């Protein structure tokens, strides 16, 4: 069994302590720990907090109309890595069959999420003060309680570095910002005015589940997500085929230049972009690559593909029974897919259709949203 060092053991708690210097006018203070796996802007983001209670959700009458959704015929495909950028958890490439389903054409927008909040009074994870009793379940036994002044409603905001930084240390570009939430994606001085058609961000897995239930929908399984992202193509790297992301016409909202300090803006967008800003894939789905990462229903287990693969293929895989991320064994993580405006070939290449990433269920981030699916009936 892998030895858990002190930094890893404290990862969950340090999500507070090492992002908080930015709140205390200590911008130059160095973070106290670095991510161990230098693979992506999502990797090893430490745990946030479980919501204090379950929010009751009311269904409305405007679901099941399939507005702005696309029907995906069921079928079989080869799921997993397609090129040398593929990470170990993308293997083995394996045959998967999925039943047909409806899927949102775009990522859920601010306007759509606002409608949900207005109808239900839902309060997102990022807007709630963390509860230590919930938090301590996600960190190793014996982890000391942080000072109450650190247990504040907050979320993770991207802050570019001034120069090149080690890409295995995400604290160089993520900041823990008090009162950052879906209505204030970059902190209390920011807002979403005029951004009705932009994807909602700073939403946790729990928030995405709550919305999807209210809408009469659900989150896609990881297999459904990848099948949809491939858009009918076979064994291609991206939703559009194999043309490299930075060649030809901009095909997705990604990061051009040198991450995380110099963005040449070839695609015109530094942060998120409005829905339908780039061409759809073969299934008429937008932003299956780039813009914001998207929550999937499945728990993350780095060895899951190897557990389910069999010659005749697997039908409608639902993900593992529990989370398994050896880097953070106490945190419960779900799969996120599709990459974001921060993705770059030098770093995560999250816009590849096979790229898997993992995030704790209670994390809100400036580049993380979702879309929903619905069964046939
Ligand atoms: Ca961009």
CA–centroid distance, residue 358 to ligand 1 (Å): 22
CA–centroid distance, 163 to ligand 1, in Å, is 18
Which residue would you say has higher pLDDT here, 100 or 63? Answer: 100
**What is the CA(375)–ligand 1 centre distance, in A?**
33
Total-model pTM: 0.87
Q: What is the dihedral of CA 302, 303, 306, 308, to 10 degrees?
A: -90
Residue located via tokens 């430490």: 46
Task: With cut-offs at 50, 70 and 90, classify the pLDDT of residue 262.
Answer: very high
Closest CA to 362 of 8, 109, 124: 124
At what angle are helices 205-214 and 110-120 packed, to 10 degrees?
70
CA 65 / ligand 1 centre spacing (Å): 33
Distance from Cα 142 to the centre of ligand 1, integer Å? 42
Per-residue pLDDT at 33 exceeds 90: no
Judged against a pLDDT cut of 90, whether residue 371 lies above it is answered with yes
| Ligand 1 center to 85 CA (angstroms) | 20
Distance 266 CA to ligand 1 centre (A): 7
Backbone angles phi, psi at 11, to 5 degrees: -55, -50
User: Which residue is it, tokens 């900041």?
Assistant: 175
List the single range of 21-30, 88-97, 116-125, 138-147 with lowest mean pLDDT: 21-30
Backbone φ/ψ region at 349: left (φ over 0), alpha (ψ -120 to 50), beta = left
Tell me the C-alpha distance between 66 and 360, whole Å.
Answer: 30
What is the Å distance from ligand 1's center to 272 Cα?
7
Centre of ligand 1 to C-alpha 125, Å, is: 27
14: pLDDT strictly greater than 90: no
More confident residue, 261 or 40: 261
Q: What is the pLDDT of residue 130?
A: 86
CA 128–ligand 1 middle distance (angstroms): 30
Average pLDDT over residues 29-33: 28
44 C-alpha to center of ligand 1: Å?
23
Looking at residue 184, its pLDDT comes to 98
What is the overall mean pLDDT for the chain? 86
Q: Look at 7 and 219; give whichever has higher pLDDT.
A: 219
CB 307 within 8 A of CB 329: no
Q: pLDDT at residue 24 above 50?
A: no
- Expressed in angstroms and rounded, the spacing between residue 107 Cα and the centre of ligand 1 is 16
On whether the CB atoms of residues 341 and 357 are closer than 8 A, the answer is no
């Amino acid at each position: 069994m892998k030895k858990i060092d002190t930094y890893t053991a404290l990862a969950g708690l340090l999500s507070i302590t090492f992002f908080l210097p930015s709140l205390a006018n200590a911008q130059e203070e160095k973070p106290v720990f670095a991510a161990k796996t230098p693979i992506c802007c999502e990797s090893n983001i430490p745990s946030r907090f479980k919501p204090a209670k379950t929010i009751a959700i009311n269904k409305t009458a405007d679901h099941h109309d399939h507005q702005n959704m696309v029907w995906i015929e069921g079928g079989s495909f080869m799921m997993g890595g397609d090129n040398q950028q593929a990470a170990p958890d993308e293997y083995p490439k394996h045959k998967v069959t999925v039943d047909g389903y409806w899927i949102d054409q775009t990522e859920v927008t601010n306007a759509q999420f606002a409608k949900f909040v207005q109808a239900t009074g839902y309060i997102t994870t990022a807007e709630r003060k963390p509860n230590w009793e919930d938090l301590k379940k996600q960190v190793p036994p014996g982890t000391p309680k942080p000072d109450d002044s650190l247990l504040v409603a907050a979320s993770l905001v991207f802050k570019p570095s001034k120069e090149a930084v080690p890409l295995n240390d995400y604290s160089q570009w993520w900041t823990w910002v008090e009162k950052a939430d879906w209505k204030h994606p970059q902190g209390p001085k920011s807002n979403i005015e005029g951004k009705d058609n932009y994807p909602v961000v700073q939403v946790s897995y729990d928030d995405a589940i709550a919305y999807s239930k209210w809408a009469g929908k659900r989150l896609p399984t990881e297999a459904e997500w990848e099948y949809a992202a491939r858009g009918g193509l076979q064994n291609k790297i991206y939703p559009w085929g194999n043309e490299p992301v930075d060649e030809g016409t901009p095909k997705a909202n990604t990061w051009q230049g040198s991450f995380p300090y110099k963005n040449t803006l070839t695609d015109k967008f530094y942060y998120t972009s409005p829905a339908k800003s780039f061409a759809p894939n073969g299934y008429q789905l937008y932003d299956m690559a780039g813009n914001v990462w998207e929550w999937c229903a499945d728990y993350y287990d780095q060895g899951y593909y190897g557990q389910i693969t069999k010659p005749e293929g697997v039908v409608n895989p639902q993900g593992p029974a529990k989370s398994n991320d050896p880097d953070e064994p106490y945190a419960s993580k779900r799969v996120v897919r599709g990459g974001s405006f921060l993705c770059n070939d030098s770093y995560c290449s999250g816009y590849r259709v096979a790229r898997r990433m993992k995030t704790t269920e209670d994390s809100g981030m400036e580049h993380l949203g979702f879309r929903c699916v619905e069964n046939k009936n």
